[in-house]
Amino acid sequence: MSVTALTKDSFQEQIQNGVTLVDFWAAWCGPCKVQMPIVEQLSEEMKGTASFAKVNVDEEFEIASRFGIAGIPTMILFKDGQAVDKMVGLTPARAIQAKILEHASN
């Protein structure tokens, strides 16, 4: 599995270079359990195009509040350390892939 679990100590380093999709989730969240396998599959399909990471909002409240995560699942797309896109709610694989490709080609 190539989705990296992030903590406040590893977060900044992970998003610093290239395109990174960060999935904000929680163990008790039903839609998050549906979203995670989609993110994991994309991480395999898009190796070399983008990095994939996840943040448990219950364990890493600081990160979640820093990015204003109000509902989960929420995915934020970062490019070279900057948030460039945000997807809230259950998002289909092709929609995520399209956003990643849009930012990876810029």
Q: How many domains does the chain have?
A: 1
Q: Which domain holds residue 68?
A: 3-104
Pair type for strands 19-25 and 74-79: antiparallel
pTM check: above 0.85:
yes
Each residue's pLDDT tens digit in the chain (106 positions)? 489 999 999 999 999 999 999 999 999 999 999 999 999 999 999 999 999 999 999 999 999 999 999 999 999 999 999 999 999 999 999 999 999 999 998 7
Other beta carbons within 10 Å of 54: 23
* CATH code: domain of residue 68: 3.40.30.10
What is the DSSP annotation of 22-74? EEEE-TT-HHHHHHHHHHHHHHHHTTTT-EEEEEETTT-HHHHHHTT--SSSE
Question: What pLDDT, on the 0 to 100 scale, is given for residue 105?
Answer: 84
- Which residues are part of the catalytic machinery? 29, 32
